[in-house]
Amino acid sequence: MQGLYAVFKKELCDHFSSYRFVILFALIAMVSFISSYMAGIHMKENLEALANTRFPFLMLFSSTGALFSMVQFVAFFGPLIGLVLAFDSINREKAHGTLIKLISQPIYRDAVINGKFLAGIATITIMLVAIVLVISGLGLVIVGIVPGIEEIWRLFIYLIISIFYISFWLAVSILFSISFKSIATSALASIALWIFLK
């Protein structure tokens, strides 16, 4: 257990201090905000139509204002977050000679992989929860509608499912980073699989 927590802490630190995370987060946050903002503006102009829908607040996430909705965006680009976070997690350690050092410490080998996986999940969770909360706040201000209890529940379940979905891709990219020696190959394999399944 001690090894798992140590790896988790280190990896989480690495994620948050890396340019990769900053770029990824900026990209996802920007696109999500823009699409939700567009949806919000659109909703504001059509308030009568909004009155007839069951879950007006959720429209913020699911209505396609201009191009696509925030939900569509996460469904499409979510896997990429998972892949980008971990495609080099194990083989980079191997290439830098740090893997042998890690596993010669008194920890189980699984702790290295599990710690990295959990750190990835934590990063994804923080990213998505932050984005959804900011968009909700944005919606309260722009459109002026308050979410009901059921809407909050639905949003919560949506978050859980999205995190599971992206974590699946995170696991896939860790698997590739274990099985391919070269970082470029594992990146390519991850993206190839993503494009193939899309």
Partner 1 sequence: MEASTIIETINLTKRYNRQTAVKDLSFKVNEGEVFGFLGPNGAGKTTTLLMLMGLSHPSGGSARVCGLDPLRKPIEVKGIVGYLPENIGFYGDLDAVQNLKYVADLNGIQADKASEKIDELLDLVGLKQDARKKVGAFSRGMRQRLGFAEVLIKDPRLIFLDEPTIGLDPDGALRLMDLVASLNRDRQITVLLSSHNLHQVQKISHRVGIMIHGEMVAEGTIESLAKEKFGVGEKEYTLEEVYMKYFQEV
Measured from the CB atom, the residue of 9 and 181 that comes closer to partner 1 is 9
d(CA 162, CA 131) in angstroms, rounded, equals 12
Minimum CB–partner distance for residue 20 and partner 1 (Å) = 12
Minimum CB–partner distance for residue 96 and partner 1 (Å) = 4
Token pair 């201009």 is found at: 66
Find, among 90, 92, 94, the residue nearest to 174 by Cα: 90
Minimum CB–partner distance for residue 112 and partner 1 (Å) = 10
CB atoms within 10 A of CB 163: 20
Measured from the CB atom, the residue of 102 and 142 that comes closer to partner 1 is 102
Measured from the CB atom, the residue of 110 and 150 that comes closer to partner 1 is 110
Measured from the CB atom, the residue of 18 and 46 that comes closer to partner 1 is 18
CB atoms within 10 A of CB 77: 17
d(CA 102, CA 110) in angstroms, rounded, equals 11
Measured from the CB atom, the residue of 51 and 106 that comes closer to partner 1 is 106
Q: What SS3 state is found at 187?
A: helix
Instruction: To the nearest 10°, report the CA torsion of 32, 37, 40, 46.
Output: -120
d(CA 38, CA 61) in angstroms, rounded, equals 10
Measured from the CB atom, the residue of 42 and 94 that comes closer to partner 1 is 94
Minimum CB–partner distance for residue 148 and partner 1 (Å) = 45
Minimum CB–partner distance for residue 92 and partner 1 (Å) = 10
Token pair 């740090």 is found at: 98
Find, among 157, 124, 161, 118, the residue nearest to 28 by Cα: 124
Q: Where along the sequence are the contacts to partner 1 (CB under 8 A)?
A: 2-3, 5-7, 9-10, 93, 96-108
